[in-house]
Amino acid sequence: MNVPQDCRYTKEHEWVRVEGDIVLVGITDYAQSALGDIVFVELPKVGVKLVAEQPFGSVEAVKAVSDLFSPVNGEVVEINAAIGDDPTVVNKSPHGDGWMIKTKVLDATQIDQLLSPADYEKLVAGLAGGH
């Protein structure tokens, strides 16, 4: 299970990576592996306002759909058009080329409240133990 150290995490299995005053958002390696083959990703339009913990899109696998929850309050500045053409990129590179949106952050303190890599690893380990 890949849990990059330069990201923060949500309980809903999204990651964020800060790049200046912008953050990238995607789903974690654990999430893509649990979903299986991803066939469609529904993303918001540029300019849409995001509210922390509210859905902003969805990921569709062959037999399941999961909502994407925004980690922070923000405004979408860019979406990853490449995963529209080939959603399997999310399976192949969830933390890299499979990023989903870039958003302006309205309240930087929200990022500090997200899970650290260590805490997220613990969360996932707990979930795996259940299987």
Partner 1 sequence: MAGYVGHGPTEERDLLRAIGVSCFEDLLVGIPETARQRAPVDIPPGMSEEELRRLFRGLGARNYDPEKVPSFLGAGLYDHLIPAAIRQLTLRSEFYTAYTPYQAEVAQGTLATIYEFQSILCELTGMDVANASVYDGGSAAAEAVLLASSVTGRNRVLVSAALHPHARQVMETYADGPGLDLVTVPLGADGRTDLAALRALIDGSTAGGSAAGGNVAALVLQNPNFFGIVEDAGPLVEATHAAGALAVISADLVSLGLLESPGALGADITVGEAQSCGNPPQYGGPLCGYFAAKKELVRRMPGRLVAEANDQDGHRGFVLTLQTREQHIRRDKATSNICTNNNLMALGVTIYFALLGPEGLRETADQCLQKAHYLEEKLAAIPGVRRVHAGPFFQEFAVELPVPAGPVVARMLRDEGILAGLDLGRIDAGRARQLLVAVTEKRTRAELDRYAEVLTKTLRA
Where along the sequence are the contacts to partner 1 (CB under 8 A)?
40, 42, 58, 60-61, 63-65, 67
Nearer to partner 1, 1 or 64 (CB): 64
Question: Least Å distance between CB 17 and partner 1?
Answer: 27
Nearer to partner 1, 40 or 92 (CB): 40
CB atoms within 10 A of CB 31: 20
Q: Which residue matches tokens 């380990």?
A: 125
Nearer to partner 1, 2 or 88 (CB): 88
Q: Do 74 and 50 meet the contact criterion of CB atoms below 8 Å apart?
A: yes
Question: Least Å distance between CB 20 and partner 1?
Answer: 28
Question: Least Å distance between CB 65 and partner 1?
Answer: 5
Residue spans of alpha helices (H) in the chain: 29-35, 82-85, 88-92, 109-112, 117-129
Q: Do 3 and 31 meet the contact criterion of CB atoms below 8 Å apart?
A: no
Question: Least Å distance between CB 56 and partner 1?
Answer: 12
Cα 77 to its chain centre, rounded Å, is 15
